[in-house]
Structures are given as C-alpha cells and as structure tokens.
Amino acid sequence: MAIIVQKYGGTSIGTVDKISLVADKIIVEKNNGNDVVVVVSAMSGETDKLHNLAKIINPEVKGRELDVLISTGEQVTISLLALTLVEKGYDAISLTGSQAGIITNNVFNKARIESINNSVIKNYLNSGKIVVVAGFQGVTEHGDITTLGRGGSDTSAVAISVALDAKECQIFTDVDGVYTTDPRISPGAKKIDHITSEEMLELSSQGSKVLQPRAVEFAGKYDVGIRVLSTFEDGTGTLISKDNKQVMEKAIISGIAFNKDEAQLTIRGVPDQPGIASLILGPIAERNIDVDMIVQNVGEDGLANFTFTVPRNDYKEAKKSLLESAKNFSAKKVIGNDKIVKISMVGVGMRTHAGIASKMFSVLAENNINISMISTSEIKISIVTDENNLDTAVNVLHKAFDLDK
C-alpha cells in the first residue's frame, strides 16, 4: 500500500465547513487504497492571533512560552479534522507533534527537526487509521514544545513524507500551483507545471510564499516529490522534484520572487583588516538572525563599508548589535533602511546563458529603477531597491524575460 502525505494550509481549513470538504478529499485518497497521513496548519489567522496576544504582554516576545502558545492553533485543527473524519464513518486519529515522535533541536520559534520516530504513525496506519498530525510543531528530547518557524507545517509534511518513505507529498493550498510571479502584481503570471527543487528553493528563499524554504530544502535533500495543489479546484498543480529533464527545454528564467520583509543595514568606516566581517556578523548570528545579502566595498585609506540585509522583524535587534560593534572598532556610522524590497530572478537556464544580469539591469535602468545592492548565485540574480519600485520592477522584468508567454 502506498503512503500519501497530504498537507492542508490554514485557508483550506479555516472553517468547520471547509474542514468537511477537506475530509472528503482525504476520504477519496483513502478509498483509492492508500494509507493517508494528513498534516494540518492552524485555521487561517489563528497563529497571528495567538502571537498578538503574547505581544500585548511583551512586544518582542520570543522563546519557549511563545511556542507553548502558538503551537495550540494546530491542536485545534487536528482534533476538528479527526472528529469530522470519524463522523463521516472513517477511522482517524489526531497526533500532536510530540505524540507523532517529531523530535527537534531546542531553538524555540525556529526549531529544526532532528528525527521522527516513524513507528508511531506506522502502527496507526497499519491498524487502518487515517493519521492527522499537527504541523509546525515538535518536541525537544527534554519534552519542551517547539515550533518550526512561520509556514513550518510544510516542513512537517515533507519530513513526515521522508520518514515514511511516502509516494508523494501533496501540499494543498488556496492557489492551484506555483506561479512565475505573484499574480496580484503581474496579472500575466503563469502557473508552472514542473520546477526543480533547486529553483524552488531559490524562489521560496527569495520570498515566494507558497512553500516554506526549509520544506523545499528537505525535499531536495531526500529526493521527495512535492506537488502543490489547490484545495478548491481540480488540477495537476505544480510538481517540484529533483529531476529536471522536462525543465531543461523551457525558459531561461523560471520565476521572479520578491521579499518585502527585509531591511538593510550599513556600517561605515570599519577597519579594513582580517576578521572584521566575522566580528560584525558573529554577534548577529549569535542572536539567531539570518543575514542574507552581504556587500563589502573595496577599502580606502584602511577603512571599508559593510552592508547586509536581515529580516525586517529582526531589524531593530540587528541594528542594536551593529551599534555595539561600531563602538568596539570605532566605526564611523551605522545607517539602516527598512523600506526596501529584494527582487530575484531564478532559473537553471542561467548556467548556460550569458548576459541575463546585464539584461536585467538595463531593463531596470530603462524604467528608472535604482538598484542599491546586487547579489548572484549560479541560478539567481537578486537586487535590492526602494519598496516603491516593487510593482513596476516585477512587471517589466516578467515581460522582458517572456514569462507571460
């Protein structure tokens, strides 16, 4: 019997009626003769609501108690879904992350899954049950509840698929697949049928909200196929897999992602000598803040400028850390801007085609869009610009690279 893992996001299970609809889809899969494991998010908006409650007490709330709180959203939906399945005549059981044996490290609010004891889920499957598991959560080896970072139930679903050697990991959401860019910005955006996990990882890391980047990373590493599907419409969705045979013949650029949740920090006039970068970024990493783009200019008169981006949520804390570093090596100035956006073009075709970056820059220049930072990888070019430029930049690039065709 094949094992199918299905994940339903918050909008798919936002009401009891929608949960009933989801239950029907699960039943179809079960009646097809498969073993079905379902991973669910909290009802849409619930995790934010819980988080906001804690923020009333402490606007910068973090850590263990926050996880105890925000993990409860998923405990509501697993129970409601299991109850619905039972009501429809199917044997089902709900499991929290801890009950399902999902062991994580102890980095609260951003924990990583370390192992899954698959015997728990397997035993229930073997007894004919549909198993409903809470996404987004796990437990440390000491029994503390953890969460996996926002959007983390995607990662739960992929990790469970790996642990059970599932045939496919189906991620059900409110869109019918992955698009060349956000259709709300570019109405000409097209659904992608098949994309490599490598490209999807870049798109997700660069701001595409469809899947949590960690989920894609996990799937690529263990070679599990993910299919993104709509809960509300029939269709084949988007397949994300390692294999890129079908992808080879298509466009050079697969998609354009953007990220409005970033901020930029610059420290000016730091000594141009070995070890400075690690002295600046070390304290930031210690605070568990992810640094993304990093640019250091060529030093002049023994001094250099150092610029990098961090998540907008971490802007204040990163700035504080930077101001401390600035004192330590008497830097001239710390400046920051949290009204920026990062726009990234992604495609494996970049490996074999030259001139993509220069075309991107000239298209932006023709539209009077000023670029403040640039970074590239083998299959990605990212730029940082003022957030007011977002719509225009995405639209002109989408068109210039024929993504609307």
Binding site for Mg ion (CB under 5 A): 9, 151
Q: Which residue lies nearer to ligand ASP by CB, 109 or 140? A: 109
Q: Using the rule CB under 6 A, give the single segment among 146-154, 244-252, 286-294, 352-360 that binds ligand ASP.
A: 146-154
Q: What is the C-alpha separation between 154 and 143, in angstroms, rounded?
A: 22
**Residue 150 engages ligand ASP in binding (rule: CB under 6 A):** yes
Q: Kindly give the interhelix angle for 153-164 and 119-126, rounded to the nearest 10 degrees.
A: 70
List the x/- string, 5-44, binding to ligand ASP by CB under 6 A.
----xx------------------------------xx--
Query: Which uninterrupted H or E stretch holds 124?
Result: helix 119-126
**Rounded-to-integer distance, Cα 4 and Cα 234, Å:** 18
How many residues bind to ligand ASP according to rule CB under 6 A?
A: 13
- Go through the chain and tell me how many residues it has: 405
What distance in Å separates the CA atoms of residue 5 and residue 132, rounded to the nearest whole number?
Answer: 10
Pairing of strands 130-134, 35-40: parallel
The partner in contact with residue 135, picked from Mg ion, ligand ASP, none with C-beta cut-offs of 5 to 8 angstroms by kind, is ligand ASP
| Degrees to nearest 5, angle at CA 48 with 233 and 316 | 125
* Nearest-10 crossing angle of helices 356-366, 390-400: 130
Q: Could you say whether residue 140 binds ligand ASP (CB under 6 A)?
A: no
Stretch touching ligand ASP by CB under 6 A, among 26-34, 96-104, 152-160, 291-299: 152-160
In the complex, the smallest distance separating the C-beta of residue 152 from Mg ion, rounded to whole angstroms, is 9
Does 80 bind ligand ASP (CB under 6 A)? Our answer is: no
Residue nearest to ligand ASP (CB): 41
The reply to whether 104 sits near ligand ASP by the rule CB under 6 A is no
Least spacing, CB of residue 45 vs ligand ASP, in Å = 8
- Least distance to Mg ion, CB of residue 154, Å: 6
Q: Which does 255 bind (CB under 5 to 8 A by kind): Mg ion, ligand ASP, none?
A: none
H or E element: which one contains 285? helix 276-286
Contact of 4 with 35, CB cutoff 8 Å: yes
CA distances from 268 to 193, 283, 341 (A): 46, 17, 22
Contact between 255 and ligand ASP by CB under 6 A: the answer reads no
Residue 136 partner contact from Mg ion, ligand ASP, none using kind-dependent CB cut-offs of 5 to 8 Å:
ligand ASP
Residue 138 interacts with ligand ASP (CB under 6 A)?
no
Q: Considering only residues 97, 151, 177, 336, which one is a binding residue for ligand ASP as defined by CB under 6 A?
A: 151
**Of residues 14, 135, 138, 220, which one binds ligand ASP by CB under 6 A?**
135
Location of structure tokens 């150092």: 306
| One-letter amino acid for residue 188 of the chain | G
- Cβ-contact 335, 266 below 8 angstroms: yes
Cβ distance to Mg ion smaller for residue 41 or 140: 41
402 token code pair: 């024929």
Among ligand ASP, Mg ion, none, what binds residue 336 when CB lies within 5 to 8 Å by partner kind? none
98 is a contact residue toward ligand ASP (CB under 6 A): no
**Which residues have CB under 8 Å from 156's CB, separation 6+?**
7, 39, 97, 102, 113, 133, 134, 135, 136, 137, 138, 148
| Residues of this chain that bind ligand ASP (CB under 6 A) | 9-10, 41-42, 47, 73, 135-136, 150-154
